Amino acid sequence: MRIYENNIEKIINSVDFNKILNNLAKKYKNKKVVFYGTGRLFKEISKNYSLGEKFNIIGFSDIKFSGGDDFMGYKAFPPEKIVEEKPDAVIIFNLDYTKVANFFHNILFTEFGKFNYEPVIKPNLIDIFKSFCSCS
């Protein structure tokens, strides 16, 4: 994924993220949402779009949070605490959706319970990412 990370700004500018975010915001209107992943993808998107105006964000989750943390003025917690927050949905801000989905299914769901989730970047957009690098 490091190859993709070097091209995040180009990637974001190559697709209509406003439309993507508006569709997600419409789908989760008046719903409690947790954003998962606070790395480069999230940072690049959040500096260009007002996510707090579009979503009812109840917190952020990332493996780097240990609990009791604060991120951008919101509650921040490790992935194993997601279920406790009772979100209606978790929106994944990570380029490696498959890795995150496997982590959710194989570890979090079996040990802590299930929750609804979806990626901000759909897997079929991976082809766009690949066009910015020399990977296959």
Q: What's the fold here for domain 2-130? A: Rossmann fold (3.40.50)
Q: pLDDT tens digit string along 85-118?
A: 999 999 999 988 888 999 999 999 999 999 999 9
Nearest partner of 100 among 77, 123, 81, 69, judged by Cα: 123
Domain locations in the chain? 2-130
Distance CA 85, CA 33 (A): 10
Are the C-beta atoms of 62 and 126 separated by less than 8 Å?
no
Q: What is the pLDDT of residues 23-51, one digit of tens each?
A: 999 999 999 999 999 998 899 899 888 99
**pLDDT tens digits, 47-65:** 888 999 999 999 999 999 9
pTM (2 decimals)? 0.84
